[in-house]
Amino acid sequence: MPVVHDRSVKYKRILLKLSGEALMGEHDFGIDPKVLDRMAQEVGQLIGIGVQVGLVIGGGNLFRGAALHEAGMDRVTGDHMGMLATVMNGLAMRDALERAGIRSRVMSAIPMSGVVEHYDRRTAIRYLTASDVVIFSAGTGNPFFTTDSAACLRGIEIDADVVIKATKVDGVYDKDPVKHADAVKYDSLSYDAVLDQKLGVMDLTAICLVRDHNMPVRVFDMTKPGALLNLVTGGKEGTVIE
């Protein structure tokens, strides 16, 4: 895809985190190809204006370690299944991107020879510089972490300008807006405010990491068409944590 620099770009290199659950679309489990195709188009628009895109995709649409543990499974085994789920989502996203004509790579924190490349930071940066989308899968490679933490970790490692969390709500609220109709949205807030109020939009380990490395985080609604492009080109979308 040709790179056209015809819009002002606020963030030159981004780490975009997509929630696994959002990939389900209207379904209760799995991947809705329509959602994948739409996300691929939106990522393609960013590549088209010269933005370098790293992706971390969750696995909650398939397996979550904590939920498997609640059902009786060993926690670490459940987390391994959750991380493998993120590799499956990564493969599906690569497929959608390639079908849309966007070059992409899947790297895994857990070696999986013959299926995807093993994560290597310097190689990832080379791919990004060449305008390939890099999908960082298998989370951090360690149990007891989340893909939010993986997104913040990879964002810091690749020296991204921002970590963008694409989710089903349109920002950070003073309480969970899915459970409380009177929740109030923040346009911006500090890392410490998220930590002090224990706001559940992102796990607190991830927030500590971005705080320690001054990495700004944007939270926005991935179901809103065009929102991602608007955000990356300086538009007002969602909430800024910095």
Ligand X SMILES: O=c1ccn([C@@H]2O[C@H](COP(=O)(O)OP(=O)(O)O)[C@@H](O)[C@H]2O)c(=O)[nH]1
Binding site for ATP, by residue number, is 17-20, 60, 64, 167, 173, 176
Shortest distance in whole angstroms from residue 74 CB to ligand ADP: 22
Q: What is the helix (H) or strand (E) element at residue 80, kind and residue range?
A: helix 75-99
Shortest distance in whole angstroms from residue 184 CB to ligand X: 24
Q: Can you say which residues are annotated as belonging to the binding site?
A: 17-20, 59-60, 64, 79, 140-147, 167, 173, 176
Q: Can you say which residues are annotated as belonging to the binding site for UMP?
A: 59, 79, 140-147
Residue 64 binds which entry of ligand X, ligand ADP, none, with Cβ cut-offs from 5 to 8 Å by kind?
ligand X
Residue 54 binds which entry of ligand ADP, ligand X, none, with Cβ cut-offs from 5 to 8 Å by kind?
none
Q: What per-residue string of b and e applies to 17-56 under the rule 16 or more CB within 10 Å gives b?
A: bbbbbbbbbeeeeebeeebbebbbebbbbbbbbebbbbbb
User: 3-class SS at 98?
Assistant: helix
Residue 237 binds which entry of ligand ADP, ligand X, none, with Cβ cut-offs from 5 to 8 Å by kind?
none
- List interacting residues with ligand ADP (CB under 6 A): 19, 21, 58, 60, 167-169, 172-173, 175-178, 199-201
Q: How far is CA 146 from the centre of its chain?
A: 11
Q: Residue 192: count other Cβ atoms within 10 Å of its Cβ.
A: 10
User: 3-class SS at 6?
Assistant: coil
Shortest distance in whole angstroms from residue 135 CB to ligand ADP: 17
Tokens 């944590």 -> residue: 241
Shortest distance in whole angstroms from residue 60 CB to ligand ADP: 4
Q: Is 139 in the site for ligand X (CB under 6 A)?
A: yes
Q: What is the helix (H) or strand (E) element at residue 150, kind and residue range?
A: helix 147-157
Give the separation between CA 114 and CA 51, rounded to whole angstroms. 29
Q: Which residues of this chain interact with ligand X, rule CB under 6 A?
A: 19-21, 58-60, 64-66, 78-79, 82-83, 85-86, 139-140, 142-143, 145-148, 150
